[in-house]
A = this chain, B = another copy of it.
Amino acid sequence: MGSAKDGSEGLDPRVARSRAVIVAAATEHFLRNGYVGANVDEIAAEARVSKRTIYNVFGGKEQLFRETLAEALVTAERFSRQLSVELGTTGDVAGELRDVAVRLAAAVLGGPVLRLRRLLIGEAERFPDLADDYYARAPGRVMDSLAEGLRRFHERGLLHVPEPELAAEHFAFLVMGAPLDRALFAARPLAADHVAARARAGAEAFLRSYMNAAPARR
């Protein structure tokens, strides 16, 4: 157990290398063309690998798809986890929320996450388990994390958040709901400054909604 990244422990380094280049090429191809539209010969060509190698390492197109997406999900999950971990720790509620808002919006609306979402939504009917899995591990994680942070603010009397899960949803979708919806259809990515501005405006709206319900607090 040395420099291996995946579950590829003491296996032949050639296999590990093949896996890596194939997954990279396959990710790009599946993101661009969807499952049915993707073409194994092209993936092999782009990975500069013989088609046979793909069939040796993975069993077939569907397994390739599943394992490729499994890796993407791990990335997305890691990504989600480090968002908003340190929420609810300082006294600067407005500042913290604004900061998380901007980071959240930028992360979700950045190209890669968006393309992954498009792919999974498009294949949701064909691969419902993958879509479910993604939802639980990426957006779900973020929601949990946000709810936890908001709960901390609530307990410290800095916000009025009787239902942290609900408030987390409100926060997330005030911050990036509209741009996300537009971006899913747009193909052309949105301007980063517009996204950030909407995120800040969303955070402010959230504060207005969840702060002054306890006006005479100290």
* Partner-B contacts on A (CB < 8 A): 32-34, 36-37, 118-126, 128, 131-132, 134-135, 139, 143, 166, 169-170, 172-174, 177-178, 180-182, 184-188, 198, 201-202, 205-206, 208-210, 212-213
Contact = CB atoms under 8 A, between A and B. Distances in A.
Contacts of A125: 32-33, 118, 187
Contact of A177 (B132, B173, B210): B173
Nearest to A143: B178
Nearest to A38: B36
Contacts of A198: 166, 169
Contacts of A121: 118, 121-122, 184-185
B201 A208 contact: no
A131 B187 contact: yes
A10 to B, nearest CB: 37
